[in-house]
């Protein structure tokens, strides 16, 4: 018993000792994979024994199993014994290996130290060898610098002596080449200016340069005196060489030579075209440009080779002439401002711009930024206006296609643009006033022509077309805009834009709005009896066909003006200076044309609406309680359809080019007619069951006609726009639901009220009371119904307004059409 307890304790201690963590166990399984159950971490001896002896019969070979396990235990013991014995000398071997490694490290350290000592000795030896070589390199570099400097000094001294001698002898040809070389050599001695000899040579060079400048100016003054004629013998070689020397001297010498020569060359011009001379006025401006052309030709022949080509003397003379001419013209125009007329001003501007264009072809404009007081004029803005490139046709249709055309290659800027013509800008008010007067006369002529010719005739090509006067107006606008942009892109363009705005508004008021047919306040003229007995085609609309065509023509013209005014604004912004773009705004004029379009559509709607009013009045006056049977559509429906068929095809034909506005007309008419029809429907009281069925049939007929309204009377059937169809279906479905409620029995009351709420989705008690009036209920019955209606109204959602209006999901158009067809079948059966 004691032995068993000791074995149990030993096994528990062994398990505690051999308990391994999961990570260690997993590592052992990876290194020594084994399928033996004895090697598993979760080994269970009971399960293992049950596996060996699953049944009682298997206990017969228990001795054999025990022998195998004992054999396995002995083998494990032998293996453990061998491993333990093999590890006996491991510690001693490790200490021996460590000692050997330490000895090897010491030997290696000694060898590295020896190598380092040898390397330091080698470096010291190399330094001693290269020290003499470096000294030789420095000596060579210093010697080379000294020799070069001495050569430069010798060249400088000899060059200064030669320069002074040549200056005295006026040998400018040799001086031009020598002076540049001396200046270049002197640049090498800037760091030696502290040496007295070098400083003295530098002062001698500056003195020679100053003497050359004074001498050359004196030579030019002698050759071209300020007073008197030019030198008869022409330019000399000495002066030509002197110009080459001036290129090397201070730039002020060159500028002084150019200034004096050009002033002397244009002195005759200042005398000939003085302010008090007759040829100085604008009508003889051609003589100014003819004079300078002759002078430039004369200069090329006599002095073309005297000045260097890079001086661009011909261009400088022309530019100075332009500045003088601009100043003189401005002065003479200020003095004689009252004598300036439009034709004279335009003549002078045209000749001036032609001359500026000639200068641009002949010269590059490189001198416009050179010299003091010479300011290059701002180049004109890039022109993308196709009005300048293409002629506009009689109807102005090209103007509409401008935005779709590819832009042509932009011509190069004229650098001389405005160099003279700027002086005309303060006087362009004369041109602006002239255009104001011309446009006023043009508008008056349009008005008188319209009154004389009358509105466009129905059935002609002009019916519904754009008025010709509109194209004439914009063609003239194009001409003015192009002309003014050539004169100036500044304030005059803003003034011209103001004139454009003024006459765009006048055209909209006098030509378009002023010629719209006037509506009459009297919308009657038809009695119920005559309406019920009328035959198809016996009644005409309020506007005749010519007036309808006129309204459509004005609408089309207003649309054209709206689109073209928008393009005109864009073109004006392209033409005007960038700083003034924000001041170009034609939004007000575009709004005016939009109002004309809206008024025209409203007139068409009112006309057709008023034509249908008597029919709706007749509908509300008919005795619907006494209707005995359901027949075809009622006479008032026939009358409404007749007026629609009379007006709509005419309007559609005349608005063929503006389809979107015809769609707007259809939508506005529907939005006006359907509420009016429902209001007249409420006036039909009381209504019998048969009367309600007849009204329901009439409502369906009107709904069908309204759905076909955009293409009614047309050989080409087009599908109506979805937005329009939605409006018709929604409005007429409401009318049908009202009649269905009227047809429904009012007992029991709860069912009737719920049916009303479901079909109409209208929480307004007034509408409900109108429905009860149509049924012919007494006031006492209506009171109880109204109370019940208020009780049965659904509670509005939380957070929503507490008003009586709410919405339900209404039946789809297909469901309503199916119900109408069933009703028609029912009526046919009764008939």
Query: How far apart (Å, rounded) are the C-alpha atoms in residues 757 and 345?
Result: 80
CA nearest to 410, candidates 379, 384, 378, 380 = 384
User: Would you tell me the crossing angle of helices 749-760 and 765-775 to the nearest 10 degrees?
Assistant: 120
What is the structure's pLDDT at 825?
A: 57
Mean pLDDT of 734-750: 81
Say if residue 816's pLDDT is above 60.
no
Residue 117 in tokens: 């000592």
What is the structure's pLDDT at 98?
A: 86
> How do residues 23-35 score in pLDDT, each as one tens digit?
777 777 777 787 7
Q: Decide if 329 contacts 278 (C-beta within 8 A).
A: no
User: Would you tell me the crossing angle of helices 635-654 and 659-683 to the nearest 10 degrees?
Assistant: 160
Region label for 305, one of left (φ > 0), alpha (ψ between -120 and 50) or beta (otherwise): alpha
Neighbours of 130 (CB within 10 A): 11
Task: Kindly indicate the confidence band of residue 671, based on its pLDDT and cuts at 50, 70 and 90.
Answer: very high
* Of 143-157, 176-190, 240-254, 600-614, the least confident: 176-190
Higher pLDDT, 778 or 729: 729
Q: What Å distances lie between residue 102 and 96, 110, 177, 446, 523, CA to CA?
A: 10, 13, 85, 120, 127
What is the structure's pLDDT at 192?
A: 67
What is the structure's pLDDT at 599?
A: 92
Higher pLDDT, 349 or 407: 349
Higher pLDDT, 348 or 824: 348
What is the structure's pLDDT at 425?
A: 78
Per-chain mean pLDDT for the chain: 76
Say if residue 242's pLDDT is above 80.
no
Neighbours of 488 (CB within 10 A): 25
* Of 271-275, 315-319, 438-442, the least confident: 271-275
What is the structure's pLDDT at 675?
A: 92
Say if residue 478's pLDDT is above 60.
yes
Q: Decide if 734 contacts 682 (C-beta within 8 A).
A: no
Say if residue 661's pLDDT is above 80.
yes
What is the structure's pLDDT at 4?
A: 56
Residue 454 in tokens: 């009358």
- Percent of the chain with pLDDT strictly greater than 90: 5
The position carrying tokens 């297909």 is 814
Q: Decide if 531 contacts 614 (C-beta within 8 A).
A: yes
Q: Decide if 667 contacts 724 (C-beta within 8 A).
A: yes
Say if residue 8's pLDDT is above 80.
no
Q: Decide if 466 contacts 553 (C-beta within 8 A).
A: yes
Q: Decide if 606 contacts 671 (C-beta within 8 A).
A: no
* pTM summary value: 0.61
Query: How far apart (Å, rounded) are the C-alpha atoms in residues 636 and 530?
Result: 11
Neighbours of 408 (CB within 10 A): 12
Residue 495 in tokens: 């003034």
Mean pLDDT of 684-697: 86
Cis peptide before 386 (omega within 30 of 0): no
What is the structure's pLDDT at 384?
A: 35
Task: Kindly indicate the confidence band of residue 828, based on its pLDDT and cuts at 50, 70 and 90.
Answer: low
Task: Kindly indicate the confidence band of residue 803, based on its pLDDT and cuts at 50, 70 and 90.
Answer: very low
Task: Kindly indicate the confidence band of residue 531, based on its pLDDT and cuts at 50, 70 and 90.
Answer: very low
The position carrying tokens 């009107």 is 702
Say if residue 670's pLDDT is above 70.
yes
- Percent of the chain with pLDDT strictly greater than 70: 75
> How do residues 408-423 score in pLDDT, each as one tens digit?
333 446 777 778 888 8
> How do residues 324-347 score in pLDDT, each as one tens digit?
888 888 888 888 878 878 888 888
Mean pLDDT of 569-581: 88
What is the structure's pLDDT at 27?
A: 78
Maximum mean pLDDT: which of 5-14, 377-386, 745-754: 745-754
Say if residue 306's pLDDT is above 90.
no
What is the structure's pLDDT at 229?
A: 46
Report the Cα–Cα distance between both ends of the chain, in Å, rounded. Answer: 120
Neighbours of 166 (CB within 10 A): 20
Say if residue 502's pLDDT is above 80.
yes
User: Would you mind telling me the total number of residues written for the chain in this entry?
Assistant: 831
Which stretch of DSSP H or E encloses residue 4? helix 2-17
CA nearest to 41, candidates 15, 66, 65 = 15
> How do residues 760-771 score in pLDDT, each as one tens digit?
777 778 888 887
Q: Decide if 682 contacts 770 (C-beta within 8 A).
A: yes
Which stretch of DSSP H or E encloses residue 114? helix 90-169
> How do residues 133-144 score in pLDDT, each as one tens digit?
887 887 888 788
Neighbours of 124 (CB within 10 A): 10
Mean pLDDT of 679-707: 87
Cis peptide before 805 (omega within 30 of 0): no
Q: Decide if 534 contacts 440 (C-beta within 8 A).
A: no
Say if residue 492's pLDDT is above 50.
yes
Higher pLDDT, 678 or 41: 678
Q: Decide if 499 contacts 436 (C-beta within 8 A).
A: yes
> How do residues 365-397 score in pLDDT, each as one tens digit?
777 765 433 344 444 444 333 333 443 333 433
What is the structure's pLDDT at 340?
A: 79
Task: Kindly indicate the confidence band of residue 6, based on its pLDDT and cuts at 50, 70 and 90.
Answer: low
Say if residue 807's pLDDT is above 50.
no
The 3-class SS string of 38-60 reads HHCCCCCHHHHHHHHCCCCHHHH
Mean pLDDT of 258-281: 79
Say if residue 819's pLDDT is above 70.
no
Q: What Å distances lie between residue 166 and 160, 177, 416, 603, 649, CA to CA?
A: 10, 11, 43, 98, 102
Say if residue 235's pLDDT is above 60.
no
Residue 5, CA atoms < 13 Å, CB-side half-sphere: 2
Query: How far apart (Å, rounded) are the C-alpha atoms in residues 702 and 700?
Result: 5
Say if residue 527's pLDDT is above 60.
no
Neighbours of 216 (CB within 10 A): 26
Nearby residues of 397 by Cβ (< 8 Å), 6 or more positions away: none
Task: Kindly indicate the confidence band of residue 598, based on its pLDDT and cuts at 50, 70 and 90.
Answer: very high
């Amino acid at each position: 018993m004691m032995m068993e307890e000791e074995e149990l304790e030993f096994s528990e201690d062994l398990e505690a000792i051999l308990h391994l963590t999961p990570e260690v166990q997993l590592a052992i399984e990876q290194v020594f994979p084994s399928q033996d159950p004895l090697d598993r971490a979760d080994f269970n001896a009971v399960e293992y024994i049950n596996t060996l002896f699953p049944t009682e019969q298997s206990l017969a070979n228990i001795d054999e199993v025990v022998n195998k396990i004992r054999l396995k235990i002995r083998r494990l013991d032998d293996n453990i014994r061998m491993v333990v014995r093999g590890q006996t000398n491991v510690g001693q071997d490790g200490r021996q290996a460590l000692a050997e490694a330490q000895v090897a490290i010491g030997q290696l350290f000694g060898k590295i130290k020896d190598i380092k000592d040898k390397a330091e000795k080698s470096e010291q030896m190399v330094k001693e060898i290269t020290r003499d070589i470096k000294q030789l390199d420095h000596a060579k570099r210093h010697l080379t610098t000294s020799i070069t400097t001495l050569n430069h000094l010798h060249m400088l001294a000899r060059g200064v002596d030669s320069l002074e001698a040549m200056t005295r002898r006026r040998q400018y040809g040799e001086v031009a080449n020598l002076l540049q070389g001396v200046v270049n050599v002197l640049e090498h001695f800037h760091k030696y200016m502290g040496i007295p000899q070098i400083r003295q040579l530098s002062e001698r060079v500056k003195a020679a340069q100053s003497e050359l400048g004074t001498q050359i100016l004196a030579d030019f003054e002698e050759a071209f005196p300020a007073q008197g004629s030019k030198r008869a013998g022409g330019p000399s070689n000495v002066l030509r060489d002197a110009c080459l020397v001036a290129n090397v001297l201070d730039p002020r010498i060159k500028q002084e030579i150019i200034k004096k020569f050009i002033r002397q060359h244009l002195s005759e011009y200042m005398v000939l075209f003085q302010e008090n001379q007759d040829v100085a006025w604008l009508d003889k401006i051609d003589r100014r440009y003819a004079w300078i052309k002759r002078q430039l030709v004369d200069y090329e022949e006599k002095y073309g080779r005297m000045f260097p080509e890079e001086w661009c003397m011909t261009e400088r003379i022309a530019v100075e002439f332009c500045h003088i001419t601009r100043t003189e013209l401005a002065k003479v125009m200020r003095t004689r401002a009252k004598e300036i007329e439009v034709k004279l001003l335009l003549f002078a501007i045209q000749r001036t711009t032609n001359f500026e264009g000639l200068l641009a072809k002949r010269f590059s404009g490189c001198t416009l930024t050179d010299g003091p007081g010479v300011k290059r004029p701002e180049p004109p803005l890039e022109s993308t206006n196709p009005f300048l490139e293409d002629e506009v046709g009689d109807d102005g249709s090209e103007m509409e296609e401008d935005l779709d055309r590819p832009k042509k290659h932009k011509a190069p800027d004229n650098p001389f643009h405005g160099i003279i013509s700027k002086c005309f800008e303060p006087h362009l008010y004369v041109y602006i006033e002239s255009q104001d007067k011309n446009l006023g006369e043009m508008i008056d002529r349009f008005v008188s022509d319209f009154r004389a010719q009358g509105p466009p005739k129905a059935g002609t090509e002009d019916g519904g077309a754009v008025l010709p006067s509109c194209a004439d107006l914009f063609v003239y606008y194009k001409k003015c805009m192009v002309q003014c942009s050539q004169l100036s892109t500044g304030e005059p363009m803003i003034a011209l834009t103001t004139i454009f705005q003024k006459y765009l508004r006048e055209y909209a008021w006098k030509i378009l709005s002023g010629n719209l047919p006037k509506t009459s306040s009297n919308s009657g003229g038809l009695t119920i009896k005559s309406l019920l007995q009328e035959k198809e085609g016996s009644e005409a609309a309020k506007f005749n066909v010519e007036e309808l065509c006129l309204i459509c023509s004005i609408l089309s013209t207003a649309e054209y003006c709206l689109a073209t005014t928008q393009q005109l604004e864009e073109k004006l912004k392209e033409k005007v200076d960038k700083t003034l773009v924000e001041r170009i705004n034609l939004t007000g004029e575009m709004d005016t044309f939009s109002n004309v379009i809206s008024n025209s559509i409203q007139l068409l709607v009112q006309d057709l609406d008023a034509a249908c009013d008597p029919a709706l009045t007749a509908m509300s006056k008919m005795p619907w309680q006494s209707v005995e049977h359901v027949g075809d559509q009622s006479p008032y429906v026939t009358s409404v359809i007749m007026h629609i068929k009379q007006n709509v095809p005419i309007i559609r034909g005349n608005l063929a080019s503006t389809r979107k506005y015809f769609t707007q007309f259809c939508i506005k008419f529907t939005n006006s007619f359907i509420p009016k029809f429902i209001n007249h429907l409420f006036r039909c009281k009381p209504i019998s069951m048969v009367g309600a069925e007849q009204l329901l049939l009439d409502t369906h007929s009107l709904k069908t006609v309204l759905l076909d309204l955009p293409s009614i009377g047309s050989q080409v059937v087009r599908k109506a726009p979805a937005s329009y169809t939605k409006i018709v279906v929604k409005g007429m479905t409401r009318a049908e639901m009202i009649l269905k409620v009227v047809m429904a029995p009012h007992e029991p009351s709860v069912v009737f009220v719920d049916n009303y709420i479901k079909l109409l989705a209208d929480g307004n008690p007034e509408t409900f009371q109108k429905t009860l009036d149509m049924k012919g209920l007494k006031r006492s019955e209506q009171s109880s119904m109204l109370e019940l209606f208020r009780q049965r109204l659904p509670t509005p959602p939380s957070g929503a307004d507490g008003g009586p209006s709410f919405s339900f999901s209404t039946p789809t158009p297909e469901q309503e059409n199916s119900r109408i067809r069933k009703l028609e079948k029912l009526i046919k059966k009764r008939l």
